[in-house]
């Protein structure tokens, strides 16, 4: 029986496991996950008001069954439609239940499933030609195929602020599971960041009657997302453009899209006015600029493969700037709550820098700012494990260590059946629709394995 | 078999159901202030009259129906010559200070406790106690009037605040318990004893949140067996020693303790079944029995019960949890809109004791089970823990009950 390692029991890893079982071949699976399968995924959040930032229609764990998540929700008695945004806990619950059922199915099929509750430190190709996985305590195992899907990691938040402030006990991170305890007895808090985890944390705190001030360099709320359902009209329009073959041609298309939709004219300096406009547009069902951009990126991604690395980099940099506001957009329901709390005076958003925070008389204070806060929550977001530097890739296995792989080595690994999935190979696309991208990649790996196995059996 | 149950209030009603299920004939005995408005029961006035009544009706066993029945049950068993708990240690089972002294004699760690009735007594304790301490009215329920105090000034202020006031049960707080505050995770151990041998029926880990020194009981969950086997043995061995030391030999017991850095430390033992409401179906789903059913079995079919004592560790069939719902704002309940989301949580089994529309929420910190008790059972621990976490978030975000707020 061929041996497959799945490094990381989050959404990508489980999607791979589920899709592998669809091939009906017998394999020996080993899942490396130091936490709980699916539950410790970066997307999970137990608060019912933390919604997925993509709609139900694009959150299936099977590429071939796009309606699987919706089917699951319907079977649980929820009256959602494909364009709704479900709470994140339902997505992890869905993954967990599919995983449990898949384990039973694997047993019936004669597959072996082993879970190892350890971190993986390193992976490479062994001299025998097999893929080698080394765990944190030095245990080594060899596999025919490896799905390396360790997901995103949080920024080193202590580096963002003053060291003295970090150790004051007045600071917590947005992904802290003990946030409930941190917020107890606090009346007003400051949050560093205005994007997804900052919004989730702000809603959580406001529900408890705590005054929240969000700080970011823009001093604006993120935009409001309505839906990511395929925009056929937009796709048709794009396909009529002259075939872009150079980076400049791509950028031209993006600029065209920006001009046509008069995107920049919609921005104001007043966060309330921006938010109200966004909500109004979303409620009227008008296509917002996000869905248009999503289609542009979709289109670019489909043709990126034909270009060289330098050109891809140019396009990526240009496009990332354009969609920076889009990537952190919030679902309509949460936007309405934010607006409500804003009008109640519970939420404020202001412009400030992380380095301006300091501890003063047992309170959080800011330079050039009169107010003091009972606590500071850092919600500065997540970053990819995978960065390019001197043509090398760095995979952060935990906060302190980075495993370096050269680009040539990465290609070699992939040919050998060790794939970096999801956030590990992030382009622009996964940010726009992370889960859909991961599922698509895992399916590619499944097809790759299937092809290899067919070849070896025919030999 | 004819069985008498003394003061069957709260979970005592579940005990009566279990007795009736197993085929026993039940006589209910109530003290005058606890008797229900109607029904068939005997009102306790004195021991002579009650003993005569029990003899006339051929009663073969007397069971404690609630924490208010401990003394009467033990004395009646002693007077009738029935097998029961050691009557000469009854005070150590109902008086926290006596309990502390008795366990100290047996070299067993226990939270230092005092029961006081006046401010003068409080002042006399000044030199005897080590802070932090925990203050609580003896006759109240849930966390009503409970508080952690860090020095004598805080203790004195809290005492003045609650002493002499009427509590949630409508009783005047005449006796106040002052107990050493023990740092550590809290556990509940339920047991049923027969002939001095103790069978552990369930062990739970308790989630308690602190809000400005006031403890808020959130939920209890079974230990993750067999992974937590070591914790289980450590706790249950200690509780068995405590039960023996306190003279518990027959019937149910509900013990609460904390696991400190230096080992388990008892908070209290109640020689009764766990309260406030026990849904037999949920317990059967998780364990294959409930504490009341085990108690009935030990009385009616001791030959079957005794075989259970051979199993040193009881591993539940499923992971089990109870959540004591909390309403975190003051107001009047106008709807229960969040219930449908609770009922869809994985592992949900049932919900009991739901408040009616129009019910008034007075103290947002209380968790007496008055706002419903949700039962969970599931094979998958991770899924169940996640459901608990979501439910607690729903409580904190106040999206279970629709409220009409008052000014």
Count the helix, strand and coil residues of chain B and give each as a percent rounded to the nearest 5. Answer: 35, 30, 40
Query: What are A158's two structure tokens?
Result: 């202590």
Q: What is the residue-wise DSSP string for B275-286?
A: -S---HHHHHHH
Predicted pLDDT at B392: 92
For residues A412 and B49, the model is more confident at B49
How far, in Å, CA of B86 to CA of B94, rounded?
Answer: 13
Least confident of A305-319, A379-393, B131-145, B218-232: A379-393
Report whether A83 contacts A92 (CB < 8 A). no
Q: What is the pLDDT of residues B367-383, one digit of tens each?
A: 677 899 999 999 999 99
Predicted pLDDT at B284: 93
Chain B interface includes A207 (CB < 8 A) = yes
How far, in Å, CA of B289 to CA of B273, rounded?
Answer: 13
For residue B311, count other CB atoms closer than 10 A to its CB: 10
A78 and B346 in contact by Cβ < 8 A? no
* DSSP-H helix ranges across B57-95: 70-80, 90-94
Q: Which of A283, A215, A293, A219 is nearest to A253 (CA)?
A: A293
Which residues in B have their CB inside 8 Å of a CB on A?
A: 209-212, 340-341, 344, 346, 380, 382-383, 385-386, 389-390, 392-394, 396-399
Predicted pLDDT at B172: 78
Put residue B58 in one of left, alpha, beta given phi > 0 → left and psi -120 to 50 → alpha.
left
Domain B112-180 fold: Dna Ligase; domain 1 (3.30.1490)
Q: Which residues pair with A335 in a beta bridge?
A: none
- Chain B's closest residue to A90, CA to CA, is B345
């039940």: which residue's tokens? B26
Predicted pLDDT at A328: 65
Query: What are A156's two structure tokens?
Result: 């080193």
Contacts of B390 in chain A (CB under 8 A): 46-48, 89
How far, in Å, CA of A399 to CA of A394, rounded?
Answer: 12
B397 and A78 in contact by Cβ < 8 A? no
CA distances from A246 to A94, A243, A251, A317, B163 (A): 42, 9, 9, 14, 82
Q: Å from B58 to nearest chain A CA?
A: 54
How far, in Å, CA of B67 to CA of B8, rounded?
Answer: 9
Q: Å from B284 to nearest chain A CA?
A: 24
Q: Which long-range contacts (CB under 8 A, 24 or more apart) does A63-72 make?
A: A63/A19, A63/A439, A63/A440, A63/A442, A63/A443, A64/A22, A64/A443, A68/A98, A69/A94, A72/A97, A72/A98
Chain B interface includes A176 (CB < 8 A) = no
Q: Which residues pair with A124 in a beta bridge?
A: A132
The CATH class of B2-89 is: alpha beta
Number of CB pairs, chain A paired with chain B, less than 8 A apart: 56
Predicted pLDDT at A270: 80
Q: Å from A46 to nearest chain B CA?
A: 5
For residue B277, count other CB atoms closer than 10 A to its CB: 16
Average pLDDT rounded to a whole number, residues B190-208 = 94
Predicted pLDDT at A313: 67
Helices and strands (H and E) in chain B: how many? 13, 19
Cis amide leading into B132 (omega within 30): yes
Question: What does pLDDT average to over chain B?
Answer: 88
Contacts of A39 in chain B (CB under 8 A): 382, 385-386
Evaluate if residue B18 carries a pLDDT over 50. yes
Report whether A326 contacts A432 (CB < 8 A). yes
Domains B2-89 and B185-405 in one fold: no
- Chain B's closest residue to A204, CA to CA, is B397
Predicted pLDDT at B141: 62
Residues of chain A short of pLDDT 50, as ranges, are 228-231, 386-392, 398-399, 427-430
- Chain B's closest residue to A208, CA to CA, is B397
How far, in Å, CA of A302 to CA of A324, rounded?
Answer: 20
- Chain A's closest residue to B344, CA to CA, is A76
Contacts of A96 in chain B (CB under 8 A): 380, 382-383, 386
Average pLDDT rounded to a whole number, residues B69-95 = 92
Least confident of A361-370, B17-26, B77-86, B377-386: A361-370
Average pLDDT rounded to a whole number, residues B48-53 = 94
Evaluate if residue B126 carries a pLDDT over 50. yes
Domain ranges of chain B: 2-89, 112-180, 185-405
For residues A311 and B48, the model is more confident at B48
Average pLDDT rounded to a whole number, residues B107-120 = 86
The CATH class of B185-405 is: alpha beta
Rounded to the nearest angstrom, the gap between the alpha carbon of residue A81 and the centroid of all alpha carbons in its chain is: 22
- Residue of A44, A76, A96 with shortest CB distance to B383: A96
Contacts of A74 in chain B (CB under 8 A): none
- Residue of A46, A77, A204 with shortest CB distance to B386: A46
A185 and B386 in contact by Cβ < 8 A? no
A49 and B397 in contact by Cβ < 8 A? yes
B380 and A204 in contact by Cβ < 8 A? no
Rounded to the nearest angstrom, the gap between the alpha carbon of residue A452 and the centroid of all alpha carbons in its chain is: 30
Burial of A422 (0-12, 13-18, 19+ CB in 10 A): buried
Average pLDDT rounded to a whole number, residues B353-380 = 85
């Amino acid at each position: 029986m061929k041996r497959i390692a799945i490094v990381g029991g989050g959404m990508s890893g489980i999607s791979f496991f589920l899709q592998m079982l669809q091939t009906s071949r017998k394999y020996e699976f080993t899942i490396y996950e130091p936490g709980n399968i699916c539950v410790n995924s970066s997307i999970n959040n137990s608060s019912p008001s933390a919604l997925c930032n993509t709609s139900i229609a694009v959150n299936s764990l099977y590429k071939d069954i796009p309606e699987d998540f919706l089917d699951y929700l319907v079977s649980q008695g929820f009256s959602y439609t494909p364009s709704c945004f479900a709470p994140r806990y339902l997505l992890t619950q869905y993954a967990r239940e599919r995983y449990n059922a898949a384990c039973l199915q694997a047993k019936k099929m004669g597959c072996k499933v082993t879970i190892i509750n350890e971190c993986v430190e390193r992976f490479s190709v062994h001299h025998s030609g097999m893929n080698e996985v080394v765990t944190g305590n030095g245990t080594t195992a060899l596999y025919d195929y490896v799905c390396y899907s360790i997901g995103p990691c949080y920024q080193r938040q202590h580096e963002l602020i003053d060291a003295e402030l970090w150790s004051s006990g007045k600071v917590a991170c947005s992904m802290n599971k003990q946030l409930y305890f941190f917020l107890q007895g606090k009346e007003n808090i400051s949050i560093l960041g205005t994007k997804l985890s900052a919004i989730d944390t702000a809603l959580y705190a406001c529900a408890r009657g705590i005054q929240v001030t969000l700080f970011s360099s823009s001093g604006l709320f993120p935009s409001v997302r309505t839906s990511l359902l395929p925009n056929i009209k937009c796709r048709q329009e794009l396909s009529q453009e002259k075939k872009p073959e150079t980076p400049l041609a791509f950028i031209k298309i993006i600029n065209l899209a920006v001009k046509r939709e008069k995107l920049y004219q919609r921005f104001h300096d007043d966060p309330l006015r921006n938010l109200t406009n966004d909500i109004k547009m979303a409620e009227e069902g008008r296509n917002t600029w996000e869905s248009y951009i999503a289609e542009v990126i979709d289109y670019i991604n489909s043709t990126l493969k034909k270009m060289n690395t330098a050109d891809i980099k140019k396009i990526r940099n240009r496009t990332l700037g354009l969609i920076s506001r889009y990537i952190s957009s919030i679902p309509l329901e949460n936007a309405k709550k934010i607006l409500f709390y804003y009008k109640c005076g519970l939420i404020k958003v202001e412009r400030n820098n992380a380095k301006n925070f300091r501890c003063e008389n047992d309170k959080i204070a800011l330079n050039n700012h009169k107010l003091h806060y009972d606590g500071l929550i850092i919600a500065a977001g997540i970053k990819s494990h995978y960065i390019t530097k001197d043509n090398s890739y760095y995979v952060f296995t935990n906060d302190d260590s980075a495993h370096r792989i050269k680009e040539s080595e990465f290609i070699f690994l992939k040919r050998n059946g060790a794939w970096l999935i999801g956030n590990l190979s992030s382009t622009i696309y996964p940010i726009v629709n992370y889960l859909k991208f991961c599922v698509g990649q895992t399916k590619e790996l499944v097809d790759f394995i299937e092809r290899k196995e067919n070849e070896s059996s025919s030999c | 078999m004819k069985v008498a149950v003394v003061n069957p209030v709260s979970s005592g009603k579940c005990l009566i159901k279990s007795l009736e299920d197993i085929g026993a004939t039940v006589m209910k005995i109530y003290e005058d202030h606890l008797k229900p408005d109607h029904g068939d029961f005997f009102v306790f006035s004195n021991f002579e009259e009650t003993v005569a009544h029990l003899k006339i009706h051929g009663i073969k066993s007397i069971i404690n129906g609630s924490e208010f029945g401990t003394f009467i049950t033990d004395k009646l068993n002693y007077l009738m010559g029935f097998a029961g708990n050691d009557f000469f240690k009854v005070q150590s089972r109902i008086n926290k200070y006596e309990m502390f002294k008795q366990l100290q004699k047996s070299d067993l760690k226990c939270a230092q406790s005092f029961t006081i009735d006046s401010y003068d007594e409080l002042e006399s304790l000044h030199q005897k106690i080590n802070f932090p301490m925990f203050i609580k009215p003896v006759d109240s329920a849930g966390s009503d009037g409970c508080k952690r105090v860090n020095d004598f000034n805080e203790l004195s202020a809290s005492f003045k605040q609650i002493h002499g006031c009427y509590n949630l049960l409508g009783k005047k707080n005449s006796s106040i318990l002052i107990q050493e505050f023990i740092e550590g995770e809290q556990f509940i151990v339920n047991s049923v004893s027969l002939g001095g041998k103790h069978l552990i029926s369930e062990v739970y880990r308790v989630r308690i949140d602190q809000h400005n020194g006031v403890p808020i009981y959130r939920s209890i969950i079974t230990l993750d067996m067999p992974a937590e086997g070591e914790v289980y043995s450590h706790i249950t061995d200690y509780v068995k020693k405590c039960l023996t030391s306190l003279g518990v030999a027959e019937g149910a017991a509900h013990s609460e303790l904390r696991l400190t850095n230096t080992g388990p430390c008892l908070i209290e033992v109640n020689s009764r079944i766990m309260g406030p409401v026990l849904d037999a179906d949920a317990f059967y789903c998780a364990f294959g029995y409930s504490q009341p059913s085990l108690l009935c079995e030990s009385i009616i079919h001791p030959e079957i019960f005794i075989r259970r004592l051979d199993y040193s560790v009881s591993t539940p069939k499923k992971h089990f949890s109870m959540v004591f719902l909390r309403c975190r704002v003051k107001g009047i309940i106008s709807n229960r809109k969040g219930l449908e989301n609770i009922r869809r949580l994985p592992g949900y089994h049932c919900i009991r004791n739901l408040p009616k529309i129009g019910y008034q929420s007075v103290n947002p910190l209380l968790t007496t089970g008055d706002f419903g008790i949700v039962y969970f059972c599931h094979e998958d621990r991770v899924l169940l823990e996640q459901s608990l976490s979501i439910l607690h978030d729903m409580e904190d975000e106040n999206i279970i009950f629709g409220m009409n707020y008052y000014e």
